[in-house]
């Protein structure tokens, strides 16, 4: 009887400790329900789920039209980042399924080359610029200029969106997905990725904290829908506990705001 009680209490204590460590309650809460048309731009299928899946679901179920743009087909989504062309079809299908789970209005997936975005910035700029003009969003969402942990595609995509925001669409708010300050200090690039060099001042720290509540459930469901990418959540202590346990701690998602 004692063991029956001790085990769930221990699990809850581990979860609570993780929840308190992962979240920064000094970051102001933001109610994002005022947004009506949100355009989200990421390089890879699953970027949206890990960084802001709960936020997107919460927006969509509140009546906001959410357009998700994925810039590559994800052919380098292998444990060692080598090219696997069969992943293009798999990750496209996974992204379409996740769009349905998160209630996303429109999912656009391009093929600018996984790992190649830094070589195609002019094409990206033209494509994203046209899309912003067509969608007329009242919020843009992408990575910050460090790409969160220096992934070259994350950085290149952010540079393109940020440049467009600065020079052509400054009246549209641009939010960078980020993490609490404590978690940012712990965040490093996966072993198989060589991060590109970015300046310390390009790091964006959270100014908005959004409560996602029950939207954590579709966020978790979406993560598991990306079956081809499960290995990336199996490092360190995460080898010993299921991914949903860690994702369940993310009842808040964090955003910086471009100036």
Q: Mean per-residue pLDDT for 61-83? A: 94
In a domain, 10, yes or no: no
In a domain, 127, yes or no: yes
In a domain, 12, yes or no: no
Helix (H, G, I), strand (E, B) or coil at 205: coil
In a domain, 154, yes or no: yes
pLDDT in tens, 29-46: 999 888 999 999 999 999
In a domain, 220, yes or no: yes
Q: Can you give the CATH number for the domain in which 153 is found?
A: 3.40.50.10320
In a domain, 221, yes or no: yes
When mean pLDDT is compared across 10-14, 86-90, 217-221, 237-241, the lowest value belongs to 237-241
> Can you give the pLDDT at residue 91?
96
73: confidence class by pLDDT, cuts 50, 70, 90? very high
In a domain, 190, yes or no: yes
Containing domain of residue 226, as a range? Answer: 34-257
Note the Cα 235 to chain centre separation in Å.
19
The β-bridge partners of 65 are 37
Note the Cα 255 to chain centre separation in Å.
10
| Alpha-carbon distances, residue 91 vs 13, 102, 114 (angstroms) | 36, 16, 12
> Can you give the pLDDT at residue 11?
85
> Can you give the pLDDT at residue 175?
98
> Can you give the pLDDT at residue 75?
93
113: confidence class by pLDDT, cuts 50, 70, 90? very high
Measured distance CA(2)–CA(257) in Å, rounded: 50
In a domain, 13, yes or no: no
Measured distance CA(150)–CA(109) in Å, rounded: 22
Domains contained in the chain, number: 1
> Can you give the pLDDT at residue 237?
47
């Amino acid at each position: 009887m004692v063991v029956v009680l001790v085990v769930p209490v221990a699990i809850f204590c581990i979860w609570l400790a993780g929840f308190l460590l992962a979240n920064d309650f000094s970051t102001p809460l933001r109610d994002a329900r005022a947004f009506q048309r949100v355009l989200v731009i990421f390089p890879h299928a699953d970027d949206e789920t890990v960084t802001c899946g709960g936020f997107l679901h919460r927006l969509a179920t509140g009546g906001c039209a959410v357009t998700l743009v994925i810039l590559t087909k994800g052919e380098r989504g292998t444990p060692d980042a080598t090219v696997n062309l069969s992943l293009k079809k798999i990750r496209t299908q996974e992204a379409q399924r996740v769009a349905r789970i998160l209630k996303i209005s429109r999912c656009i997936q391009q093929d600018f080359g996984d790992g190649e975005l830094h070589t195609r910035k002019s094409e990206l700029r033209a494509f994203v610029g046209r899309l912003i003009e067509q969608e007329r969003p009242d919020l843009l969402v992408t990575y910050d200029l460090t790409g969160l942990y220096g992934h070259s595609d994350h950085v290149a995509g952010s540079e393109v969106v940020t440049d467009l925001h600065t020079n052509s669409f400054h009246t549209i708010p641009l939010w960078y997905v980020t993490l609490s300050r404590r978690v940012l200090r712990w965040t490093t690039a996966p072993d198989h990725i060589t991060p590109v060099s970015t300046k310390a001042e390009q790091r964006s720290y959270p100014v908005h904290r959004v409560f996602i509540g029950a939207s954590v459930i579709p966020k978790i469901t979406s993560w598991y829908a990306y079956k081809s990418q499960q290995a990336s959540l199996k490092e360190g202590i995460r080898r010993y506990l299921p991914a949903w346990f860690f994702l369940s701690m993310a009842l808040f998602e964090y955003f910086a705001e471009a100036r």
